[in-house]
Structures are given as structure tokens and as C-alpha cells.
Structure 1
Amino acid sequence: MANPSWLRAAVLTTTAVLLSTLLAGCGGGAKDGDLRAQKLDWKDCPAPSEAEGGGSAPSPLPNGGTWQCATMRAPLDWGKPKGDTIGIALIRARASGPASERIGSLVFNFGGPGGSGVSTLPAFGEDYAALRTRYDLVSFDPRGVGSSTPVKCENDSQLDAYFQQDGTPDDSAERTALLNRTKQFNAACEKNSRKILPHVATTDAARDMDLLRQVLGDDKLHYFGISYGTELGGVYAHLFPKNVGRAVFDGVVDPTQNPEQGSLGQARGFQLALDNFAEDCTSKTTECPIGNTPQEVKDRIAKLLTDLDKKPISGIPPRQLTETAATNGIAQSLYSKDFWEYLTEGLEQAYDGDGKILLLLSDSLNGRNEDGEYNNLTAANTAISCADQKPRYTADYVQQKLPEFRAASPLFGDFLAWGLVSCTNWPVPGAADHPDVSAPGSAPILVVGNTGDPATPYEGARKMVDALGKGVGVELTYKGQGHGAYDSKDKCVQSAVNSYLLEGKVPTSGAVCT
């Protein structure tokens, strides 16, 4: 069996996979019921609980400092700000430079939706060392996520079955089974999380961030949003344009698309990433072990999935590698070029009847650790997405759209199309077709698009710039691979981002890093 340690190390290179969340210390009470006056009780972070993914407490910082955790109280219902409250789990690393040069706090959201900032920030801490010279680095578990009143749906064994289901039905019986299994999952969410489900929309999280800004003592919100974090940042800028400080959006969500358009864009994005992977493998001087030409690589992958649909192979006993798990594993490996060697190895083994590596990759995407325990990523992702997205798609509608999705991606089209039914039986209505991110009067926001991004295709960066409004969005292009740009370690990208966040130097809009 493959050692999970190598996979976990690889997972930490991408914002797509968020392995665990950390418990936060208790927050102080607010004075006279005013949550803006609350004092945070920062303490050393404990180890994460089983529900948060397990593992160890974050390691000390290189200079001997420690990661600190706290809990901020926020209204359960922002429509009733003096009503019941919930806890928002926080983490921070204090600025490493002189106090006289400190700008304030830099708040991170790493995406999802449903990703824990409390667990992810320490994993990437070294990547942001330059930014820590002038900022306290701060992140949080958005409401419904990790330690922030987490959405709970199914237990570990039920989730194992959920992820083993056939996500690309071929006939009416398989379609019925998929719909019934989705309905069962959604009903479990309603049963176990009825109180929080109506209050996990992105607009709620944006209001939490403005409360966080005030509790941290900052006049402006300085912000670094990645993937879904760019959508959250855009919604914040729309609601509070005058409170935006220095902000960076990386791995940019297209805010103009409805769920169907977004999934279709992802189909094209993942297909492009697969094309690039196949080209890379076959263009090297050493022999590509999974095909002699790019087309042969893709044809063999397609045949593997077809064969798995008929007969799964051995995975991690007692679980097998199904077509759906293999598709998940392949998608996971396309989030970062650093993963491509694992995809090659996983495919090579799968062709020999061993599905362990692809199943491990699938597990990492789904938030499952080697002990069989899941964090709440899937539950939170579903809850937040369904609270945000108004459309509810039927099986008949998806069936009609399959040719368009297959044209976008022969490999991922069916899988992403059928994912549209996930909110069909959701107990809470969705808010809108797409988020409103128009932010007239906001300070400049640096919007970084990656031409090879599979999850948030490059075109979304320009759409975000246009939607933010004239004089707000500043576009920077990175010609690279993987999800996001800053964590690629590209010196051009990091120099532009660091100069803006640390010195306030706004790059020329339209600049390109190659």
C-alpha cells in the first residue's frame, strides 16, 4: 500500500484540498451586547478533533513564535444581529517585523466553499513569510465549516457509500439511484444541521469578515482570497466597498456565471489541464509510461473509466476503485503540476489492476484521512453552494445538457453535469443565479488569473475585473499550470502581489507573468 505521507505532502501544495480544521479557543464576551466590542482570547492552538480531520497541532513558527487560535462571536442570523450567536474559529500568526512597520491584519480565505482557514493557513505559513513581516496573518473557518458551527450530514460509513456511488448514470435505474442517494444525503443535512443551514450563505460570511475587521481593530480589511475566496472577497467588496483595504484575488471565480455555466467552464478547464498533462508526459526525453502520444494517454484513461464503470478494481480494502472515485482522483491531481507525477504513477498502477493511488487522491479531494474519518468539507461545500445558488436542476434537464458537457470534456463532462442535481432537494432556497460583486468606490483589487487553471478557468479573471467595476479590478495574468498563481512560487507573480500588499504599489492592469 502506498504511504499516505507523500500524498499529504502533495495535497498541501494546492488550495483545492483542505485536510483538517483546528479547534479554537473561547472568545471573550462583548460589552453591552455589542459584538464589535468583544475581546478575543488568543491561545495556543490545540490538535484538531476527529470531525476536523485529525492530526497534530500546528508546528511552531520558524522564529519561535506560535500559531494562536480564538473564537469570535457572530450573529446566527444577520437579520437579527442581537439574537442568538455562533462561534467563528480564528487563527493568527503575529507580524514578524518591527511594530512601527506593521500595516494590520491580512485575512485569508483559501476556498472551497467549505475549506477551513484554521487548518490551511499553518500548512502554507512559510509561503507567506514575506507578507508576515508587516501583517498579522489571520484566517478563519467560515460559518458552517470546521469549528464554526459545522454543518453535519452523514457519518463516515455513510460517506464512504456516498462517494462509491455511480456519479455518471447510464440508464433510468442508475439515474434514480443517484437522485435517491442525493436526496438521502440532503435529508441528513437537514436533520442534523437544521438551525445553521439558512445562515451559511456567502453574504453571511462576508458580514462575519467585516465584524472580524472591527474586532481585530482594523479600519480597512486587507484580504487575500483564493478560489472561492475570490467570490467571498467580491461579495464583501460589494457590501462594504469603503472598507476594502489592499486585496488580492487569486484563482478567480467567474462571478457572472450560474451553476450550470460554472460547471461547464470547469469541464473545459479540467479538460485543458488533462491535455496539458498528456502533452507534458509524452514530450519528455524519458518514455511516458502511460502512452506514446497525448491522444493515446487520454484514450487509455477513457478506457480505464469505461472498464471501471463495468467492474471496479482493488483499491484500499474493503473499498474498490470505482469509475467515480477514479474520476475524482484524476481531477484532484490536475489541481497542481506537482501532482502530475502521482497521476502518472496512479494510472500506471491502475492499468495493472491496483487502484490504491487513485483512491488516495480521491480521498484527499473528499476530505477523508487514512483512518477513514472525514472532515466536514463535503457537507459545508454543499450547504454553502446550495444557499448561494438559486437554480435547482432536474435529471431531465441534465440529460438534455449532456451533449454540451461532453463536447466541453469527454472525460469530465458527464461527471460535472450530473453534479448539478446536488441542490435539487435542498431544504433551503438559494439566494441568486450568481453573486453580485459590483464595488464602486472600492480601493484597487489585484485580480490574478492563471491561463492553465482547471478549477477556475482563466477567463473568470477578466469577468471579475469587469464585474467589480471601472477603476477597481486590476488584472495580472500568469501563464502557468495549476489552480491559482501565488503558490506556484513564480517570482514575477509573488513580486507583484508582495509589492502591492506590502508597499501599496498597484501593478499596471494587463501585466503578464510568464
Structure 2
Amino acid sequence: MKKIIYTFLILNLLLVTVNLYAKNELIQWKQCNSVLKGEHFKTECGVFKAPLDWENLNNTRKIFVDFIKVTEEVQKNKKDALFVSPGGPGGNSVEFAKIIAEKNPDLLKKYDIIGLNSRGFSESMNLQDCNKFIDYKQLLNPIKNQNDYLNIKEYSHSLQNECLLINGDIMNFLSVDQITQDYIGLLEQLNYSKINYFGASYSSVIALNLINSFPKYIDKVIIDSNLNQVQTYKERIIGQNKAINRLFDHLNIKKSLLSDFELIKKKYPKINEYIILNSIMEMIKGNGFKLEDLNKKLTLLKEGQVDFYEVFNKDESGNQNTYPLCLDIPSNDLPLSDVTENMETAKNDLKEFGKVTPYVLAQNICSGWDVAKKVEYNIPNNIQVLILTSDYDIITPKEWSLSLVPIIPQNKVVSFNGKIHGVYMKSKCARKIANEFLLENIFPKDNINCTE
């Protein structure tokens, strides 16, 4: 009898060992590149060896995705998981998790903070940035007839092919659906039961896809400066133009900027005016924008003291690779009449400039990508979502965030009266509300306006 019991215990021990191995077999731990400032943090870094294609697990190829887990130095009890991402696409979630922990150490009393990079952007992957292939002058040619439209589409397809050529077919597996399943896969590997999620900018798309596809794994969700995948091309343009006009009115620069724009166009007749406008928008939309800096650069340009390309950087994407965004925008393979109507909408809505805005640029880049599917949200009513937005954000306008309200049954909107893309990190009021939600389960009874 003793022998049977002993054998039974040994078999159980082996079973537990095998189970633990299975739980962690897709994780390779590694040394973190940098440490956090503070005495009470502990960081663990690793690579998640995710299936290349979650839809076909018979395909044994793997894709390596970097992640970090930030915890209290001494773990007193098991914590919940708070996944954080800064957006991008291609923002560094590993570094972002460190920043969130440093600025909000109280969160570590309840959560382990996890930063999972989007597939394709990890240090382990070393993909080439496809933005460097883009000829913005060619891409921003005005669409006057069917040939112009076909040329832009053909050029966009050529960019796609060049990107695939240099990076291989891995580019076909960088979609939001695949990224979303990486989160669920890592959640299970790290032995957590639920995801609490904070996603800024593009990561709001990941958040909504997580809720939509895997609701049983989701607890609290905060989305900040948001996109709505189901918005039409026209709705996006209208929202961004409203935000631009709001900002220009707020800064009281509409008339002077229009005058400057016209003078710069005359000074540089060979430069496509779309590029001039887009460059001005790039300067204004950043969180570090200062009106005096813009005026200095515009003065230099008007007086011809510097070359245009010395003042404005055509491509401000940094190390981010924005092409995967195209994989998840429903195809803009529209007839010319619809494109013309969309452009006219932009023109009428932004009367002073009457040209394309930066988001239209992104839409044109993506016009040749036909792989996106139409998204239909079916968000359950038991998941609370806090929506953060800013009145003068022209990257992801307030209108885009508000368009999510009818889609999310349990939502509250926190609006910040400022020019910020990424409200949580800049608004003390919004951050307090968000942290109360995460730490004390206090969900606002009404929408809130933060003024600071």
C-alpha cells in the first residue's frame, strides 16, 4: 500500500513539474537593459516566443516579442496584472511600463505592471522601418482624375511590396488580431487570470479588440487619446479638422498661420503645398509644441534664411514602423467619386487651408492595402471602460474618442481642457481619476471635465 501511495505522489510531482514547464516554455528570460529609479522596484525582462500565426497553430514558426514585468521589490501577496502600452503603433511598451511604475508607485501595491511590445517592434526582431521608402511628394500628389487616383494606389502597393521584400512575410502577421492574442498568450504564460489594461493612442484599438474578442479575460480598461476602427474615412477627416480649427482658435493663430502658409508656398514653389501643411501640423501636434518655436521657424522660412528641409523633417516617425496600422484600416479601395467627396469634405471643413491633414496622409499610404477586415464591435455591458481625451488634441481628436461612447455600454469620459496627446501622463486630474478606478474600484458616476 505504501508503495502505491509513494508511486502516486511521485507521478503527481512529475505532473506538476510538466505543467509548470508548459506554462513557461514560451518565455525566455533575459537581463533588463536599464533599471528603475527607486528602491522598491523589481524588474524582470523576457522574450515571449509567440506563435507566428495564432489562427494556424500547426504552423510551428515563432515570433519573438519583448516584455517587462515590474513588481514590488518584496512581493507580499499575488498581484493582478496591469498591461500598459503607449500606442504607436510601435511605441516601446517596455520603457512605458517603467515610466508608469516610476510615476505611480502606488499601483504596484495592487498590480504587477506588464509592458508587452507589439510584435514586429521588439529589439529581438530588428525589422527595417518601411517609412524610409516613402516619397511624400509622390504620395501627396493631388487627386484630380482617375489616373491620379490609380497612380497613388499603385505607388502604395509598391511600398507594400518593398516592405515585404526587405522584411519577409512576417509583415503579414502584424495585425491587431495577432497582437491581441499575444496578450492572452503571455497572460497565460505568466499565470495571471485577468488583464487590466491601460492603452494610449493606437493601443486603444488593441484594448477594444481585447474586450471584443476575449471578454472573459478582461477586468478594468482605460483608453487614452483614442482611435475608432469602425469610423469612416470621412468621419476621421471631419474630426481632425474640427480639432485643428479648435486649436487654431484657442491659440489665436488662424489668420497669421494662413498668411505664413501662403508666403512659404510662394517662397518654395517646387515643394508640394501638402508637405508644407503637413510639416506645420507635425510641429503643432506634439506635446512639446511652443508657439514661439513655430514662429521662429516660420520667420526663417519666410525670409529665406534657411532651406525648407533643414527646418521641417519630412518623416518624424522615429524608429516606429507604422505600416502595420494599414493592415487594420478597412480598405480605402474606393471609387474616385467617393475619394473626391471625402477630399471636398476636408476642404469645406477646413476652409482656410482646404488641404489634407496628417491623418489623410496616413489613409493615402494605406489605400493600397486590401487585407484589412471590417470590424464589428460587440462590447459586453459588464466591463467598465474609462475614456480619456483632450479638447485640443489634433492627433486623435476628441471626436474620435466620443464616437466610441455608443459602442461601449459601460463608459465614462474624462475630458482635459488642454492640448495634449496622452492625457494620463500630463493631467493630474485625469490621472487621479484613473488611479482611483484602478486602485479603489471607483468608477465615475458622470462624465468629468478636468481643467488645470
If the TM-score is normalised by the length of the shorter chain, which range does it land in? 0.7 to 0.9
What residue ranges of structure 1 are gaps of 5+ in the alignment? 1-29, 47-57, 280-293, 313-321, 368-374
Query: Which whole-Å deviations, capped at 9, do the CAs of 1:24-56 have from their partners, x for residues lacking one?
Result: xxxxxx97999754363332334xxxxxxxxxx
SS at match of 1:253: coil
Q: Corresponding residue for 1:497?
A: 434
Overall identity of the aligned pairs, in %: 19
Contact 1:244 1:442 (C-alpha < 8 Å) held by counterparts: no
Q: CA deviation at 1:504?
A: 1.8
Task: Provide the residue aligned with 2:266 in structure 1.
Answer: 307
For residues 259 and 113 of structure 1, what CA distance do their matches in structure 2 show? 19
Equivalent residue, structure 2, for 1:43 = 30
Alignment of 1:237-252 (within 5 A): 237-252=211-226
Output the CA distance in 2 between the equivalents of 1:67 and 1:395.
Answer: 53
Instruction: Give the AA of the match of 2:372.
Output: G
**1:242-321 map, 5 Å:** 242-277=216-251, 279=252, 294-304=253-263, 306-307=265-266, 310-312=269-271
User: What amino acid does structure 1 have at the position aligned with 2:237?
Assistant: S
Q: Contact (CA 8 Å) 2:227, 2:401: kept in 1 or not?
A: yes
Within the candidate set 458, 467, 477, 2:415 is matched to 477
| Partners of 1:110 and 1:201 in 2: CA distance | 17
Cα RMSD, aligned residues only = 3.4
Q: CA deviation at 1:60?
A: 4.1
Query: CA distance change for structure 1 residues 139 and 413 in 2, over 3 Å: closer, same or farther?
Result: farther
- Candidates 373, 376, 388, aligned match of 1:431: 373
Partner of residue 317, structure 1: none
- In the comparison of the two structures, how many residue pairs are matched? 429
Deviation sequence 1:253-301 (CA, Å, 0-9, x none): 2344034422332233233333333x2xxxxxxxxxxxxxx34322224
Kept after mapping to 2: 8 A contact 1:165/1:324? no
Asked whether the equivalents of residues 415 and 450 of structure 2 are also in contact (C-alpha less than 8 Å), the reply is yes
Please, which of 70, 77, 80 is the counterpart of residue 94 of structure 1? Answer: 70
Task: Pick closer, same or farther for the CA change 1:384–1:419 going to 2, 3 Å.
Answer: closer
Kindly indicate whether the alpha-carbon contact (under 8 Å) linking 2:228 and 2:404 is maintained by their aligned counterparts in 1. yes
Cα distance change of structure 1 residues 181 and 345 upon mapping to structure 2, 3 Å threshold: farther
The Cα shift of 1:487 comes to 1.7
Question: Conserved in 2, the CA contact under 8 Å of 1:91 and 1:139?
Answer: yes
Q: Do the aligned partners of residues 226 and 134 (structure 1) sit closer, same or farther apart at CA in structure 2, a change above 3 Å counting? A: same
- The 3 A distance-change label for structure 1 pair 391 and 337 is closer
Instruction: Name the TM-score, length of structure 1 as normaliser.
Output: 0.73
Identify the residue that residue 285 of structure 2 maps to in structure 1: 335
Give the structure, 1 or 2, with the largest relative contact order (CA under 8 Å, sep 6 or more): 1
Q: Which position in structure 1 is the counterpart of 2:317?
A: 366
Preserved contact between residue 82 and residue 196 of structure 2 (Cα < 8 Å): yes
Question: Does the 8 Å contact 2:72/2:108 carry over to 1?
Answer: yes
In structure 2, list runs of 5 or more residues that go unmatched: 1-16
* Matched position secondary structure for 1:334: helix
How many angstroms does 1:419 deviate by?
Answer: 4.3
CA-CA distance at 1:388 after TM superposition: 4.2
- Aligned twin of 1:25: none
Summarize the alignment of residues 15-414 of structure 1 with structure 2, pairs less than 5 Å apart.
36-38=23-25, 40-46=27-33, 58=34, 60-63=36-39, 68-96=44-72, 99-100=75-76, 103-122=79-98, 126-147=102-123, 149=125, 152=128, 154=130, 156=132, 158-159=133-134, 162-163=135-136, 165=138, 167-169=140-142, 178-277=152-251, 279=252, 294-304=253-263, 306-307=265-266, 310-312=269-271, 323-341=273-291, 342-353=293-304, 354=306, 355=308, 358-360=311-313, 362-363=314-315, 365-367=316-318, 375=319, 377-378=320-321, 381-393=322-334, 397-409=338-350, 410-411=352-353, 413-414=355-356
Normalised to the residue count of structure 2, the TM-score between the two structures is 0.82
**Letter of the structure 1 residue corresponding to residue 302 of structure 2:** Y
Deviation (angstroms), 1:131: 2.8
Q: Deviations over 1:322-363 (max 9, x none)?
A: 645543432233334531243333323322333467424x54
State yes or no: 1:458 paired with 2:398. Answer: yes
Letter in 2 for 1:40: I
Paired with 2:437 and 2:301, the residues of 1 have a C-alpha distance of: 46
**Deviations 1:161-205 (CA, angstroms, capped at 9, x unpaired):** x24546243766976765554332122123234522332221221
The whole-number CA distance in structure 2 between the counterparts of 1:272 and 1:151 is 38
How far did residue 445 of structure 1 move? 1.7
1:382-406 CA deviation, whole Å, 9 max, x = no partner?
2332344233235564234322111
Amino acid at match of 1:414: V
- Between the aligned partners of 1:296 and 1:475, the Cα distance in structure 2 is 32
1:130-152 deviations in whole A, cap 9, x for unaligned?
Answer: 43454332212212334465664
Residue 160 of structure 2 aligns to a residue whose secondary structure is helix
Q: Structure 1 residues 214 and 509 mapped into 2: Cα distance closer, same or farther (>3 Å)?
A: farther
Secondary structure, in 3 states, of the residue corresponding to 1:407?
helix
Q: CA deviation at 1:207?
A: 1.3
Q: Which amino acid aligns with 2:31?
A: D
CA–CA separation in structure 1 for the residues paired with 2:30 and 2:200? 27
